[in-house]
Structure 1
Amino acid sequence: MGTADARERRREHLSSRPRLPLLDPLLPGVHAFDGSQGEHLLLVPTGLPDAPVPLVVFFHGSGADPVRSLPVLEAEAQRLQFLLLVPKSFHYTWDVILGGFGPDVTALDTLLRRIFEHFPVDPDRVALAGFSDGASYALTLGLLNGSLFPRILAYSPGFVVPGQPDGSPRIFVSHGTADPVLPIDRCSRRIVPELRSLGYEVDYREFDGGHEVPRNLLTASLSFLGASEPAAD
């Protein structure tokens, strides 16, 4: 493989991993971390146990931001007691969608490293999630970093950028049958069969609605955080 290909592979690879924390945990509440084009947000729920905890990273849609996107999962983070990281894209949408991996991967790696320094994150309960363009990015980056993200939650994705897969993450996909932004026939109804043909386990939910994330499907996508999850076959 050529030097350019190897360099691109490194750019899409996240090197940070859960570890024994070296610093005290951050206090409950929303913490802002400065980024090049805005603030990344981390929600630390009240009453987080002194034990390995889940982490969900949520990518916003095109033109959105963490402040508007945090409420999508905020109540669930409090209820299920997971850390919620909502990064801000460098541009109006995510780097690979605009031509290649770059500043957004670098920023995410730095953010994850900081979180792992403060919290004992459970490596079996780390999820990469997103809505719309953020769902496309979650699928793309998650499949390339499956050893870090055993779960991918994609709400109304548009596509997946091909690459060298890593690990075997379980995938949740939801999509509205009347989505006017990313029509289901040319998006999830193509994406899901392709993922299954590659051997991925996909929980796919269609719903009567548009470009949105229904609350019941949001709850269903996070059921793996409960204590009663069935063992894998």
Structure 2
Amino acid sequence: MRAAAWAALACLAALPAPAQTADVCGREAEPCTTDTGTYHVALPDTPEAGMPAVLFLHGAGGTGRGTLGMRGTINAITDRGYAVIAPDGLPWRPGRRGGIWSFREDLARLETRDEGAFFAEIVADAAMRYDIDPDRVLLSGFSAGGFMVTYLACRTPEAFPAYAPVSGGFWRPHPEDCAGPVKLLHTHGFTDSTVPLEGRPLRSGQWLQGDIFEGLGLFRAANDCARPDASGYRTTGQFMRRYWDCAADSALEFALFPGGHGVPAGWANMALDWFEDVTALPQETGGQ
């Protein structure tokens, strides 16, 4: 188990035994509260001890409860026996609901937080409440949540077993380099105009979204890939996928779909198949 999760678990030792069926902080309940934030949880119909989970980060202005409203995606995940942990970002604008993530302090709106520590804290909390296995958690997120996932994968690849950003990468200036090895699946829409593949300026050029392919180059370097071109290609439903065979204990893949800015149908099962493959988890049958 990762050190941060162990430390957080030690602080939570006095909590009651894990709830196997109670919806303590699920779709309709109040959020669970930790020292530094709040989160919601969706559980499989029949939760099992030591179940895996997807920690999914909402986009700008979103909420954890809103994440659980993505019924198709959430149900596809829980149908596979996974829990979904949906945290709340920090306040985005005064007087407005919804939050944002501290992926870069110079882009923060109102306040910042050590998001890596927050995520470790809520994974540990969810592990105590629901008997989730903290070593079997995929970190994913959409748009601004995808930005956060990408930056955390770059800074601390050991924090989670694998990372799966959707429609979100780096901002300019890109990091000089990333730590590695890392296991990362990036998914993006071909016609995304909110976070274009090439990036775009915001606020008259004050902020610049980065280039997705340049970001993949940073992860190739972190994974000690010998070549920039893909090692192979495959297609899963609407997803056109390319992958790189690089250093041991690394995995890097890019999945393109013919759509815009959103979490596409079929993503959950594709991402979980990939997660189970790269982390050597037993595969289960599911459908979306």
Q: Does residue 1:80 correspond to 2:80, yes or no?
A: yes
The answer as to whether partners of 2:179 and 2:222 remain within 8 angstroms in 1 is no
Higher helix proportion (structure 1 or 2)? 1
Residue in structure 1 matched with residue 231 of structure 2 by the alignment = none
What's the offset of the Cα at 1:70?
1.7
Q: Within the alignment, does 1:94 sit opposite 2:101 as a pair? A: yes
1:1-233 superposed matches below 5 A = 15-17=4-6, 23-26=16-19, 27-29=21-23, 30=26, 32-34=31-33, 39-50=38-49, 52-72=50-70, 73-92=73-92, 93-99=100-106, 102=113, 104-159=115-170, 162=175, 168-186=181-199, 187-199=211-223, 200-223=250-273, 224-225=275-276, 227-228=282-283
Give the structure-2-normalised TM-score. Answer: 0.64
Q: Distance in 1 between matches of 2:114 and 2:160?
A: 19
Gaps of 5+ in 1: 1-12
Let me know the Cα RMSD of the aligned residues. Answer: 3.2
| CA spacing shift, 1:116–1:220, aligned 2, 3 Å | same
Per-residue CA deviations over 1:22-49 (Å, capped at 9, x if unaligned) read 5422235315224799852122222112
Which stretch shifts more, 119-128 or 58-67? Answer: 119-128
Instruction: Work out the number of aligned pairs and report it.
Output: 216
Larger-Rg structure: 2
Q: Is the 8 A contact 1:149 1:169 kept in 2?
A: no
Report if the CA contact (8 A) 1:28-1:44 is conserved: no
C-alpha deviation, 1:125, in angstroms: 2.2
In 2 relative to 1, CA 90–103 (structure 1 residues): closer, same or farther, beyond 3 Å?
farther
SS class of match (1:15)? helix
Q: Report sequence identity in percent.
A: 20
Residues 178 and 107 (structure 1), Cα distance of their counterparts in 2 relative to 1, 3 Å cut: same
